[in-house]
Amino acid sequence: MPLNDTAKALIARFPLGFVATVTPEGWPAVSPKGTFLVLDDDTIGFGEIRSPGTMRNLAQLAQTEVNFIDQWTRKGIRVRGTTRVVTPGGEFDALIGKWRAVWGDLAERINALVLIRAEHVKPMTTPPYDDGVSEADMIALYKQKFSEIYP
C-alpha cells in the first residue's frame, strides 16, 4: 500500500518513529528511531546507530510496525511492513547520501540502513476529533501545555 502525500509529509516533518518488534522470548519491544526518511512511495527507512535489540529482533522476525505522531495535532500514521537491512557497500553506499543530506554528520555514525516496505498504512487520530475538535484547537491546546512544561 503506497504512502500518500500526507503520510510522507508527516514522516518528513516528524521523523521520530516508534518501531515495534518482538523479542526472541516473544515479548513486544518498542524503540524510538529518529533518523527516518521516505525513500519512495512504498519504502521508509532509518539509520541504525545504536539499536542492538531492535536489530536482533528484526533478524528473528522481519515484520514491524512504526508509529509517527504530530504531537501538536495529535494525528499520526501507523506503517506496517517487512524490513530489509542494508549494510555498508553496494546499496548502502548508493543510499547513505540521502541520510547525509538530511542528518549531516550524524549519518557518519550509521552502521546499517533498515528499509521497511510499507505494506499497510493507517491514519491515527485522538478521540477529541470524534467530538468535532479542529486541528487549530488541538494545536492551541498543546502549545499551551508545552509552554507550561517548558516555559
- Which three cell numbers, joined as nine digits, stand for 24? 526472541
Give, as one character, the DSSP assignment of residue 87. Answer: -
Total domains present in the chain = 1
Question: How many residues can be counted in the chain?
Answer: 151
- Cβ count within 10 A of residue 140: 12
* Residue 133, in any domain of the structure: no
> The domain spanning residue 98 has which CATH number?
2.30.110.10
* Residue 119, in any domain of the structure: yes
* Residue 37, in any domain of the structure: yes
* Residue 131, in any domain of the structure: no
User: Radius of gyration of the chain from Cα atoms?
Assistant: 17
- Cβ count within 10 A of residue 89: 8
Query: Residue 65 forms beta bridges with which residues?
Result: 20, 80
Cα distance between residue 48 and residue 137, in whole Å: 36
Q: Note the pLDDT of residue 99.
A: 98
Q: Note the pLDDT of residue 1.
A: 72
Contact between 29 and 23 under an 8 Å Cβ cutoff? The reply is yes
* Residue 98, in any domain of the structure: yes
Q: Under 8 Å CB-to-CB from 89, ≥6 apart: which residues?
A: none
Cα distance between residue 30 and residue 18, in whole Å: 6
Q: Note the pLDDT of residue 2.
A: 87
Domain encompassing residue 26: 5-126
pLDDT < 70 regions, the chain:
none
* Residue 141, in any domain of the structure: no
Cα distance between residue 100 and residue 33, in whole Å: 16
* Residue 63, in any domain of the structure: yes
* Residue 143, in any domain of the structure: no
What's this model's pTM, rounded to 2 decimal places?
0.94
Separation of first and last alpha carbons in the chain: 42
